[in-house]
Amino acid sequence: MKIISIANQKGGCGKTTTAINLASALGINGKKVLLLDLDPQGHATLGLNIKNQDSIYNVISSLTPRKLKIDSIIQRVEDKFDIIPSNILVGTLEQELADEIGRELKLLEAMAPLKNRYDYILIDCPPSLGILTVNSIRASQGLIIPVETSRFSMQGVDHLMDIVNLVKERLNHAIECRVLVTMFDSRLRHSFSMLATFKEKFKGLLMDTIIHVNVKLKESAVMGQTVSLYDKYCRGSKDYAALAKELILLEEGPAPTSTLTRRELPRFGTEPSSGTAPKLPRVDDAPSEASTAPEAAFADLSSRMKNLVKEEAQKLVDTKFSIEAAGAKSVYVTGSFNDWSLDESCRLREDNGRWEIMISLQPGIYKYQFIVDGVWREDPQNTRKERNSFGDINSLVEVPGNVPTPTE
């Protein structure tokens, strides 16, 4: 069981949004997940439409007249995804625990009955650096710090790392910290500038996944749903699905491809025998019909695969994207053909101030824009355009073929 705190005392950085949707994405990947809402504001509870007067306060507090066991307040959100709700009373624990001995261990003790019942427990921490956050860090093996691309978020990370170091020194408990960039607006040059600063400052801590600005994330919270349930095809859902897979890979490593080791794998054309090594063929032995059968089968399969690849390649059409941008340092093209993603495969090459790239696309109609030094721009040489939901202009390109169909 892996316990991970999600914390940042700076508000508005996507902390609760990350807690909710990462938990959901982990559940979709087959992991049993519990989200513990430790924020007195109860935004995770509210964002999932959970209605319950009981909370983790009733488990930890020694003053409450309604003392409960942690099992009794767990509620189901989705398949493999549970939540422990929060309410305003959780905030009173800061004062109640202030003078208690072992106050930093209260949450860890309360969670003891949950041992090995879940693959992951995510804790949505309060936006402060008080006793509750210290309890969460002490109970966790990992910490995810969501940050928006601003200077204030960077300062918030520094303060939180001070608490992590304090817990390590005073309580002899070290945890693994990771920084997650959220609310990334790829239309702004400032976002790319801050991202470069984050990569430099948090070299070994920064996660590869970036959570982009997506209106569906806000809409899903209003509807009391996770984004994967509200709109599983939107950008926000895809970002958190990628984050869940990255986290699983970091924590558990790649899935084994086979239960057999290399030594245990049987050879083709041989029968396993006990205590006797298989007879190896001599160089001058003539190949028998039985021994050539596997080679013939593989040759046939290889030929069919080559034909299949050739057929698929014939459906693609080389499409040229180009723009005049003298003095630019970097130019990308992105659009509906690559789900508006941004990577080196869509980086243009410069030749005397003109940037160009050739991309193989299936027949259809695609929307696209250029990103010149972090600024989104329509294609000035293309008269086919349409306005998008951000108020910008998308350029349109039609790739000819037998069945040109619109592609979203």
DSSP assignment string, 307-362: HHHHHHHHT-EEEEEEEE-TT-S-EEEEEGGGTT--SGGGB-EEETTEEEEEEEE-
Output b/e per residue, 365-394; b: 16+ Cβ within 10 A: ebbbbbbbebebbbbeeeeeeeeeeeeeeb
Rounded to 5°, the CA angle 80-85-91 comes to: 150
Q: Same domain, yes or no, for 197 and 338? A: no
Show the domain range for 367. Answer: 317-399
Q: Is residue 374 part of a domain?
A: yes
What are the beta bridge partners of residue 364?
Answer: 399
Q: Which DSSP letter does residue 74 get?
A: -
Q: Same domain, yes or no, for 7 and 151? A: yes
Query: Once rounded to an integer, what is the mean pLDDT over residues 226-238?
Result: 90
Q: Is residue 356 part of a domain?
A: yes
The CATH number given to whatever domain includes residue 331 is 2.60.40.10
Q: Same domain, yes or no, for 245 and 355? A: no
Q: Is residue 182 part of a domain?
A: yes
Q: Same domain, yes or no, for 243 and 391? A: no
Decide the pairing of beta strands 176-184 and 206-212. parallel
Q: Is residue 290 part of a domain?
A: no
Q: Is residue 79 part of a domain?
A: yes
Q: Same domain, yes or no, for 242 and 112? A: yes
Residue at which a domain ends, from 252, 271, 295: 252
What gap in Å lies between CA 293 and CA 268, rounded to an integer?
Answer: 10
Burial of 324 (0-12, 13-18, 19+ CB in 10 A): exposed
Q: Same domain, yes or no, for 239 and 375? A: no
Q: Same domain, yes or no, for 244 and 323? A: no
What gap in Å lies between CA 119 and CA 149, rounded to an integer?
Answer: 31
Q: What is the pLDDT of residue 309?
A: 52
Q: Same domain, yes or no, for 324 and 235? A: no
Q: How confident is the model at residue 284 (pLDDT cuts 50, 70, 90)?
A: very low
Q: For the chain, what is the mean pLDDT? A: 82
Q: Same domain, yes or no, for 232 and 358? A: no
Q: What is the pLDDT of residue 404?
A: 42
Q: Is residue 57 part of a domain?
A: yes
Q: Same domain, yes or no, for 230 and 334? A: no
Whether 150 shows a pLDDT value over 50: the answer reads yes
Instruction: Find the length of the chain.
Output: 408
Q: Same domain, yes or no, for 192 and 95? A: yes
Q: What is the pLDDT of residue 121?
A: 95
**Overall domain count for the chain:** 2
What tens digit of pLDDT does each residue of 91-140 get?
899 888 887 888 889 999 999 999 889 999 999 998 888 899 999 999 99
Q: Is residue 306 part of a domain?
A: no
The CATH number given to whatever domain includes residue 73 is 3.40.50.300
Residue percentage of the chain with pLDDT more than 90: 38
Q: And the tokens for 208?
A: 């590869």
Q: Is residue 276 part of a domain?
A: no
Q: Same domain, yes or no, for 219 and 338? A: no
Q: What is the pLDDT of residue 306?
A: 60
Least confident stretch, 65-79, 210-224, 254-268: 254-268
Residue at which a domain ends, from 203, 224, 252: 252
Whether 261 shows a pLDDT value over 50: the answer reads no
Residue at which a domain ends, from 218, 252, 286: 252
